[in-house]
Amino acid sequence: MAPPNEPLHLQHILSFHQLMAKQPKLKPQDPGHFFADGRSTRPFVEGTVARGSLGADPVFLTGKVSQLPPAVPATPVDPKLVLAQYAEEFPVEVNEALLKRGRERYNIYCNVCHGQTGSGDGTIVMRGFLKPPAFWEQSAGDKSHFSRGLRYQGAGQIELEKAPAGYLYHVITNGYGAMASYSAQIPPQDRWAIVAYIRALQKARATTITASAPAAGNDAHPKGAH
């Protein structure tokens, strides 16, 4: 503080130059002389995909081909409509490259819960966490491979081998039960790759069991026959 009876001196504080904030640049929609057409906003490059426009292909993005009609109180849901809302076919080409990518992504994100072969015996299950459904029938009469989500929606008892591909994609995207959404970690193309790999696991298991099934006429029920 200034000594008594001495005038106070005011100091004029100058701000630093904000060169980064006040840089010369073209702003959207403003006229400019840098380009020959006088526009600052440039035309889109051919093939540009606008942010958020992936919704233009709803099947690829959601796994659904339709939506359920509004629910009517005290009226049961038609199981056929529940299943019909999900895509049966893949919106991408299923080839060797997609399956290899699916196997890689599955082992990163899914193996820890669902197990390497889709038996629902991943590492967290061994440590006492809730066991997820298996992707294929484990033994005759066992129902651990039935979809909990489709049953909750009103589709009844549906084996995951028979669940639409779009439903598996939907669960990866939105999660269900103890499984959280993986939409932030896994892009749409990779989700379809994982679904394709799950289908490969199911078919491989069914083929193995069919090859070792009892001869025709035996009343035993082969585990992989769905």
- Lowest mean pLDDT, pick from 63-67, 68-72, 141-145, 214-218: 214-218
Rounded Cα gap, residues 18 and 15, in angstroms: 8
pLDDT in tens, 124-175: 999 999 899 999 888 877 888 889 889 888 888 899 999 999 999 999 999 9
Whether 16 shows a pLDDT value over 70: the answer reads: no
Amino acid at 195: V
Whether 212 shows a pLDDT value over 60: the answer reads: no
7 found inside a domain: no
pTM for this one? 0.69
Both tokens assigned to 18: 């904000």
CATH of the domain at 98: 1.10.760.10
Mean pLDDT of all residues belonging to the chain: 83
28 found inside a domain: no
70 found inside a domain: no
Rounded Cα gap, residues 219 and 221, in angstroms: 6
Rounded Cα gap, residues 212 and 222, in angstroms: 8
117 found inside a domain: yes
Tell me which residue range forms the domain holding 184: 57-65+76-211
Q: How confident is the model at residue 4 (pLDDT cuts 50, 70, 90)?
A: low
Domain total of the chain:
1
Confidence at residue 216, expressed as pLDDT on a 0 to 100 scale: 44
The 3-state DSSP class for residue 99 equals: helix
Q: Quick one: DSSP state of residue 169?
A: H
pLDDT in tens, 183-211: 999 999 999 999 999 999 999 986 655 55
CB 100 within 8 A of CB 107: no
CB 149 within 8 A of CB 167: yes
For residue 26, the Cα-to-chain-centroid distance in whole angstroms is 38
